Structures are given as structure tokens and as C-alpha cells.
């Protein structure tokens, strides 16, 4: 039996901080503020699947308003100008960036899918064959943000959850 | 100076366009490798710089780099992978295929400009 290590909450926090520093908060004035899981809920989300030597899903979720603010920051426009297409594009790229960096911390031999975006709560997309192994929850501009990792139950049975 | 930005995210293309404009590049955009090849084929002069994402639909960035390197018309085009693929083995694959540099997302404006400067792409001059 092999024991795999997966990124933990601290790793997720470091990755997310890099995303914020690079694109959403380059001035360092509006960081993501960590909160307890119970205080958080997502209205829209995006995900990337990881397959290969580790199998699971990385999910980025937020409120509609946080997604709109993020798209506005990425696209250098006013939040009111953000379209549904803009939201989907930026949510997908956020999942892609976080998922890609998660993959880099996993055992070699993993593959990253293209991002999937659902403009609906995370609960609308269930992961019945996976268990959550890490979750980062926070608020940005007073709006909820979450990044969660879900590992395939098959993987969990074979390797255990780190 | 002209660059082509190849990324399936419009937001990422816009960010890259803003950054390279600061060192004097105009840019054309494409959402995947095949679209980039088609765009380049229509240009009278090929771009001097290509910023290439890895994971894209239709044709990924690695295949684009491989094809670009085989095209004599694109011999002088500087190829920079800009991607979340950050494993050492992936970086080696991209460089072996012909990429000149590798930038891992997320990146800051300064880090991107510094990386391009290493390739001689600065506000005062193109690739020597």
C-alpha cells in the first residue's frame, strides 16, 4: 500500500495568495481573509479534474458578486460591465491556475483537464465518488471564496487520505 | 514589434496583452494552437514573439511549439510557454520541443517583463 501526500490547507492558501498578488490584489490592500467553513457558501464555481497517479477534482467557488469582482479585476473593467461569458472565462482560468499548481504538488504522472464552469452553487455539482481532502475558505471584499480538493474514493481506499 | 498571444482564456490574453504593450509589442490573439497557426498564416510578417498556454482545446501549446519549430518561416519567432504546467518534466518537454522560455502561472507583471528581458525583449529592442 502506498501513501500519497496531497496539498493541505496551508499549501492551498499559499497558491491562492499568489493568484491574489498576481491578478486580484496586486497592491496588497484586499487580501483573501480566512474564515471557518460554516460561514461560507458558493453561488458559482469552476473545477478542473486531475487524473493519473492521483485522481480527483479541484473546485474554486465564490459568490456571484465575488466572481464579478474577480472578472472585473482580470479584464480591467467595471463590475457592472462583466458579462456571463466574462464570468465563465475568469472562473475557468482561476480553477486552471489553482488546479495546475495543485497538480505540481502531487506525485508525477498526473494530467489536468480543461476547466469546467457552472454558474450555480457547488452543491449543484456533486462528487459522489470523491471525498473532500482539503478546503480553504475565505472572504474577499466581504464576499465568500472557497478552494476545495476532492479525491476519488478509489484513490482514498488505495492510498489513504493525507 | 508584433506578438501572438495563444490562450483559451480571454482574460489571460488581455493580461498578457497589457504587459507586453509596456515593452512595445502590439499583439494578435488566438484561442488555441491551430487558430494561432491560421492567424500567423494570414500575416505578411510572422510575429517576433509567441506567448503560448499549454492546456487548450483543439491544439495544445506543446503541439503548437513543435509545429512552429518545424516551420522555416517561424524560425526567428521567440516562443515562451505561459502555463500552469509547472512540473520539471513538463518544462523539459516544452524546452526540448523548442520553447525558449517558460513562465508559470500565476505570474506578476514584473516577473513576466523580467523573463522577457532575459530573452532580449525590452522596451528598447527586440530579440538580438
pLDDT of residue A127: 72
Structural domain span for residue B12: 2-43+56-78+97-118
What is the radius of gyration, based on Cα positions, of chain A? 15
Nearest Cα residue to B94 out of B74, B77, B69: B69
Find which of B83, B85, B106 to mutate to test the A interface (most A CBs within 10 Å of its CB).
B106
Is residue A61 a contact partner of residue A45, using CB atoms and an 8 Å limit? yes
Q: Would residue B28 count as lying in a domain?
A: yes
Q: Model confidence at A1, in pLDDT bands (50, 70, 90)? A: very low
CATH number of residue B73's parent domain? 3.40.50.2300
Is residue A105 a contact partner of residue A6, using CB atoms and an 8 Å limit? yes
Mean pLDDT, range A13-37, rounded to an integer = 90
CA–CA min distance B103, chain A (Å): 12
pLDDT in tens, B31-63: 999 999 999 999 999 999 999 999 999 999 999
Determine contact: A13 vs chain B, CB below 8 A: no
Q: Is pLDDT of A162 > 70?
A: no
- List CB contacts (< 8 A) between A100 and chain B: 55, 83-86, 105
Domains and CATH numbers, chain A: 9-19+33-161 (3.40.1550.10)
Q: Is pLDDT of A4 > 70?
A: no
Q: Which residues of A4-19 are buried (b: 16+ CB within 10 A; e: fewer)?
A: bebbeeebbbebbebb
Q: Would residue B62 count as lying in a domain?
A: yes
Q: Would residue B102 count as lying in a domain?
A: yes
Q: Are residues B84 and A103, on separate chains, in Cβ contact within 8 Å?
A: yes
Residue in chain B lying closest to A19 (CA): B106
pTM exceeds 0.90 for this model: no
Q: Would residue B123 count as lying in a domain?
A: no
pLDDT in tens, B76-91: 999 999 999 888 888 9
Residue, of B92 and A37, whose pLDDT is higher: B92
pLDDT of residue A40: 56
- List CB contacts (< 8 A) between A111 and chain B: none
Q: Is pLDDT of A5 > 70?
A: yes
Provide the domain count of chain B. 1
Amino acid at each position: 500500500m502506498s501513501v500519497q501526500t496531497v496539498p493541505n490547507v496551508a499549501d492551498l492558501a499559499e497558491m491562492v495568495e499568489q493568484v491574489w498578488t498576481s491578478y486580484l490584489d496586486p497592491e496588497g490592500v484586499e487580501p483573501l481573509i480566512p474564515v471557518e467553513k460554516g460561514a461560507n457558501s458558493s453561488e458559482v464555481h469552476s473545477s478542473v479534474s486531475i487524473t493519473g497517479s492521483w485522481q480527483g477534482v479541484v473546485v474554486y467557488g465564490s459568490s456571484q458578486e465575488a466572481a464579478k469582482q474577480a472578472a472585473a479585476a482580470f479584464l480591467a473593467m467595471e463590475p457592472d460591465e462583466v458579462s456571463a461569458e466574462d464570468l465563465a472565462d475568469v472562473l475557468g482560468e482561476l480553477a486552471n491556475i489553482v488546479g495546475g499548481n495543485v497538480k505540481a504538488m502531487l506525485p508525477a504522472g498526473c494530467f489536468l483537464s480543461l476547466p469546467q464552469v457552472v454558474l450555480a452553487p457547488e452543491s449543484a455539482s456533486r462528487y459522489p465518488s470523491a471525498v473532500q481532502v482539503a478546503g480553504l475558505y475565505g472572504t474577499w471584499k466581504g464576499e465568500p471564496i472557497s478552494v476545495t480538493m476532492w479525491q476519488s474514493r478509489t484513490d482514498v481506499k488505495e492510498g489513504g487520505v493525507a | 514589434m508584433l506578438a501572438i498571444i495563444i490562450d483559451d482564456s480571454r482574460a489571460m490574453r488581455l493580461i498578457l496583452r497589457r504587459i507586453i504593450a509596456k515593452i512595445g509589442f502590439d499583439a494578435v490573439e488566438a484561442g488555441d494552437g491551430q487558430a494561432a497557426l491560421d492567424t500567423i498564416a494570414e500575416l505578411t510578417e510572422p510575429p517576433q514573439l509567441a506567448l503560448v498556454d499549454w492546456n487548450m482545446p483543439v491544439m495544445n501549446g506543446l503541439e503548437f511549439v513543435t509545429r512552429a519549430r518545424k516551420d522555416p518561416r517561424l524560425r526567428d519567432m521567440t516562443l515562451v510557454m505561459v502555463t500552469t504546467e509547472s512540473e520539471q518534466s513538463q518544462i523539459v518537454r516544452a524546452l526540448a520541443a523548442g520553447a525558449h522560455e517558460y513562465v508559470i502561472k500565476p505570474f506578476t507583471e514584473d516577473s513576466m517583463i523580467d523573463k522577457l528581458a532575459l530573452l532580449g525583449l525590452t522596451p528598447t529592442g527586440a530579440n538580438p
